[in-house]
Amino acid sequence: MSNTGPESTWVFGYGSLIYKVDFPYLEREIASIEGWERRFWQGSHDHRGTPEAPGRVVTLIRAPAAVCKGVAYRVEHAVFEHLDHREKNGYERHAITISLLSSGRQAGGILYVAGADNTAYLGPAPLPELAAHIARSQGPSGSNRDYLLLLADALRELGDPDPHVLALEALLPDP
């Protein structure tokens, strides 16, 4: 394990935290975690949908053999005020070991995961239904379609062609 230091902590981003970086950080590295997989199973009342018509955003589910790639940021502790607010719709901090892929280090850190017990959780549905839901949703942060397309592009850039995300991208009906 390396340098989490008393003043900073690594945060692993696997969804919008990969491509929408609206916070300061001390270091950034492409990274991975073991034992988790992305799913568009979390409802979004405050970013890509509304309480009346929630959008769908990613959370993680346990998958023992899986490796999930993303981006890790080393942030000062003050940044958590912003991140906790941004992720407040059902996500909770979870401690995790992060592999920092460029430097080959391992670091303790946290990620935000939305479990099945939060009130905004929507859970699984057939992929065509998920894609149709995403295509019609939008909220204060923009369209749900853009959330999916930006994530799919970011994952291609990271070299992590996540089959769940790319299948939904392929199924998106035309705007």
Instruction: Give the catalytic positions in this structure.
Output: 87
Report in angstroms how near the CB of residue 40 gets to ligand SIN at its nearest: 10
d(CA 141, CA 137): 11
Q: Is 15 in the site for ligand SIN (CB under 6 A)?
A: yes
Q: Coil, strand, or helix at residue 102?
A: coil
Helices (H), the chain: 16-19, 79-86, 127-136, 144-158, 163-171
Report in angstroms how near the CB of residue 58 gets to ligand SIN at its nearest: 5
Q: Which is nearer to ligand SIN, 6 or 95 (CB)?
A: 95
Q: Is 14 in the site for ligand SIN (CB under 6 A)?
A: yes
User: How many positions of this chain bind ligand SIN (CB under 6 A)?
Assistant: 9
Cβ-proximal residue to ligand SIN, closest one = 15
Please give the backbone phi and psi of residue 158, each rounded to the nearest 5 degrees, phi first.
-75, -10
- Of the candidates 9, 10, 13, 56, which one interacts with ligand SIN according to CB under 6 A? 13
Residues whose CB falls within 8 Å of the CB of residue 76, separated by 6 or more in sequence, listed in order = 7, 8, 24, 26
Q: Which is nearer to ligand SIN, 15 or 43 (CB)?
A: 15
Pair 161, 68: CB distance under 8 Å = no
Residues at the contact surface with ligand SIN, assessed by CB under 6 A: 13-17, 57-58, 87, 112
